[in-house]
């Protein structure tokens, strides 16, 4: 029936109380749960097809089990990947963020934006507290579609609300 709006026509909001994370995906997308096989960490959307060369966006939270002190350290990236990522000027709203850009030989580009929030005891006397949660947004794209996909990614990233004070999940063994 023409002119009738459906749920798919609306912005797709998702929240995860365990990690204190809320995000909006564009209309006409179908967010799917991401994370380990029995543990939801966030959501993703496909921007095209499936399999090799699939373009996608993902947003998730995870406990900072490695006790990373900075977003840069938590990305696991080093230069030149962090320098290339910084040129994109991406970040989670209101949080210091690090961006990593990796151009893969297989023809795809992976962009990772990471921020940290909350506080937990580290067990390290030199750094007694560390951020408790890593928030990560990823874009998998191709050189041909990167400009278009970055527009969608920026919109999703701008919608993210991080609220670690509302975390309801199980407390990790490292003192959260």
15, 161 contact by CB (below 8 A): no
Residue 8 binned pLDDT confidence (cut-offs 50, 70, 90) = low
Strands, sheet with 55-63, edge to edge from the N-terminal-most edge strand: 32-36, 39-48, 55-63, 133-141, 109-117, 97-103
Q: Residue 50's pLDDT band (boundaries 50, 70, 90)? A: low
d(CA 151, CA 83): 20
Q: Is the dihedral of CA 56, 62, 67, 71 positive or negative?
A: positive
Going from the N-terminus, what domains does the chain have, and what CATH number goes with each?
A: 28-166 (3.40.1000)
Q: Which residue has the higher pLDDT, 99 or 53?
A: 99
More confident residue, 136 or 29: 136
Cβ-proximal residues to 92 (8 Å cutoff; 6+ apart), any chain: 113, 115, 135, 137, 157, 160, 162
Is 66 or 146 the better-scoring residue by pLDDT? Answer: 146
Q: Indicate the pLDDT class of residue 24, thresholds 50, 70 and 90.
A: very high
Rounded CA gap, 113 and 152, in Å?
Answer: 14
Query: Residue 142: what pLDDT?
Result: 92
Q: How many CA atoms lie within 13 A of 139 on its CB side?
A: 27
Confidence class for position 102, pLDDT limits 50, 70, 90: very high
Report the share of the chain in percent with pLDDT over 70: 85
């Amino acid at each position: 029936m023409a002119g009738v709006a459906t749920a798919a026509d609306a912005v797709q909001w998702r929240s995860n109380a365990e990690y204190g994370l809320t995000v909006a995906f564009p209309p006409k997308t179908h967010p799917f749960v991401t994370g380990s096989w029995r543990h939801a960490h966030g959501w993703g959307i496909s921007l095209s097809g499936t399999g090799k060369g699939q373009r996608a966006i993902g947003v998730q939270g995870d406990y900072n089990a490695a006790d990373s002190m900075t977003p840069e350290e938590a990305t696991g990236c080093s230069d030149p990947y962090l320098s290339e990522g910084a040129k994109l000027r991406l970040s989670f709203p209101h949080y210091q963020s690090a961006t990593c850009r990796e151009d893969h030989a297989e023809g795809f580009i992976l962009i990772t934006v990471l921020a940290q929030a909350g506080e937990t005891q580290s067990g390290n006397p030199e750094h007694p507290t560390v951020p408790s949660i890593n928030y990560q947004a990823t874009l998998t794209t191709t050189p041909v579609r990167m400009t278009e996909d970055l527009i969608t990614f920026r919109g999703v990233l701008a919608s993210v609300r991080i609220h670690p004070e509302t975390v309801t999940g199980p407390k990790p063994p490292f003192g959260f």
